[in-house]
Structure 1
């Protein structure tokens, strides 16, 4: 049942996405001549017919992948408290055993699905010439602007949710220090950085939506993506760079000189 439910939701989302991307008439369809005597083939119309089988095929793959996660879902639905709380966030240990894995899997599935939908929509809009790249200038027609902006903003929203529901709890079993668990760098640098990264992702999504309204979707999307990648790289270099050095030093073999090493015969 889990696979059927996930497959049905994936099909509905992808098929709706593809239909929205192919709505309306195409003023200048892409026409291909396969041979000199053959009739011209309208590639845009051919791709339109692939929407249903493509959505069905991907829904089948997603459903088959989710079918094996039924045990984790049952454990989440019937979870029990452990009676012990973690010292950082004050949550019961059962939350990290039963709830976090399900949330992580769900967010991963939705993120992958959104990425598929975004890539497919961009490809279709380029094929229909609703998105035109000319040199360094990218022109996005109003018919495609809002659709793409919503998908990109959803991607940023999912990134924020992953920060709060997956990456923050993941600090408790971090391996950046010499021992497994939240290290000093995790609690005093990574924790603050992740709490800032969440609102930053929301700001990136808002910037993308503003770009759809102000006819600067491509520019704002690139700015938001560049800012996020720069912030992530800076945070990892500040937090995990020194931690990796500590790890290497703590795991390096120590040579103990023998008792007679300082004496010569």
Structure 2
């Protein structure tokens, strides 16, 4: 005997009844366990090869009696990676949280209405992007362990260049590490400014370049950091003239480098500092044309 169902009546519900609640079934525990095991397998697949390589290299250097050399290198690599990741993520995450608070609207918070800013879709996506950028930057920083080791053990030689008055050890031991630090800072500040600008412009399904005064102040502060890092890069470029292959015949700074390129680089570095000062002033002025013009 077949089961009988009531005939469908489209007028059975009241006209002003709300929409029916749709409930999705809760995944069973074995689904979460399977996802966790899959995540563990991915982590093992990613880190298995580096771990095996570290263990092999450690045993090899230990057999040669040079274990301290390898452990020192390993310590510098880990310190650069962890330190770079921590600083990068803290800087980017702080900017993301501040941008999310500005986006949520101070007017609503003034009347007691609060929104979940970090746990929102924009917050999760922005923090994930911040973690990814920090991971990429820290991966590059970990390869600069040799520059850090040279910088730590630099000592003056007593030989000073006649143009800029720096010791020779500065060019050989300190300048490579300073270039690495400034390049890392330049990438961090650029990605930070780009991330918060995109976060302020994002409207869910489109990007609108209509920023509030608080957003302009925040973007100006991030651009001030970027301009400072760029000015530092230009300032270090002055020292590169003295030992780079600038001419077809000779190495080092020629007449045109000392009398033309060196003043230009100095002027550009000063212009970068002035731009950073203008961005700092725009934190209070809050005019969109100033960061756009810069």
Is the TM-score greater than 0.5? yes
User: Gaps (5+ residues) in structure 1?
Assistant: 28-43, 134-138, 225-265
Counterpart among 69, 80, 97 of residue 19 in structure 1: 97
Q: Is the 8 A contact 2:217 2:282 kept in 1?
A: no
- Partners of 1:196 and 1:98 lie apart in 2 by 26
Paired residue for 1:5?
Answer: 83
Paired residue for 1:80?
Answer: 155
- Partners of 2:178 and 2:130 lie apart in 1 by 24
Q: C-alpha displacement at 1:160, in angstroms? A: 1.6
User: Gaps (5+ residues) in structure 2?
Assistant: 1-78, 106-118
Q: C-alpha displacement at 1:128, in angstroms? A: 4.6
Which deviates further from its counterpart, 120-129 or 146-155? 120-129
| Cα 1:79/1:58, change in 2 over 3 Å | same
| Cα 1:23/1:174, change in 2 over 3 Å | same
Paired residue for 1:33?
Answer: none
Q: Is the 8 A contact 1:26 1:128 kept in 2?
A: no
Residues 113-262 of structure 1: pairs in structure 2 closer than 5 A: 113-128=188-203, 132-133=208-209, 139-164=210-235, 166-178=236-248, 179-217=250-288, 219-224=289-294
Paired residue for 2:122?
Answer: 47
SS in 2 for 1:123: helix
Alignment of 1:71 onto 2:146: yes
- Partners of 1:52 and 1:158 lie apart in 2 by 23
Which deviates further from its counterpart, 115-124 or 140-149? 140-149
- Partners of 1:140 and 1:51 lie apart in 2 by 18
Alignment of 1:103 onto 2:178: yes
- Partners of 2:127 and 2:267 lie apart in 1 by 41
Q: C-alpha displacement at 1:59, in angstroms? A: 2.4
Q: Is the 8 A contact 2:126 2:195 kept in 1?
A: no
Q: C-alpha displacement at 1:25, in angstroms? A: 5.6
SS in 2 for 1:190: helix
Q: Is the 8 A contact 1:21 1:121 kept in 2?
A: yes
- Partners of 2:124 and 2:98 lie apart in 1 by 14
Q: Considering only aligned residues, what root-mean-square deviation do their CA atoms show, in Å? A: 2.2
In our comparison, the structure showing a higher alpha carbon Rg is: 2
**Larger strand share, 1 or 2:** 1
Q: C-alpha displacement at 1:170, in angstroms? A: 0.6
SS in 1 for 2:120: helix
SS in 2 for 1:23: helix
Q: C-alpha displacement at 1:67, in angstroms? A: 1.5
| Cα 1:23/1:180, change in 2 over 3 Å | same
Q: C-alpha displacement at 1:198, in angstroms? A: 2.0
- Partners of 1:81 and 1:46 lie apart in 2 by 54
Measured against aligned partners, the alpha-carbon deviations of 1:59-85 in whole angstroms (never above 9, x if no partner) come to 222222212211211110111223322
**How many aligned residue pairs are there?**
200
Measured against aligned partners, the alpha-carbon deviations of 1:24-55 in whole angstroms (never above 9, x if no partner) come to 5647xxxxxxxxxxxxxxxx931212233333
- Partners of 1:162 and 1:153 lie apart in 2 by 14
Measured against aligned partners, the alpha-carbon deviations of 1:229-264 in whole angstroms (never above 9, x if no partner) come to xxxxxxxxxxxxxxxxxxxxxxxxxxxxxxxxxxxx
- Partners of 2:231 and 2:85 lie apart in 1 by 25
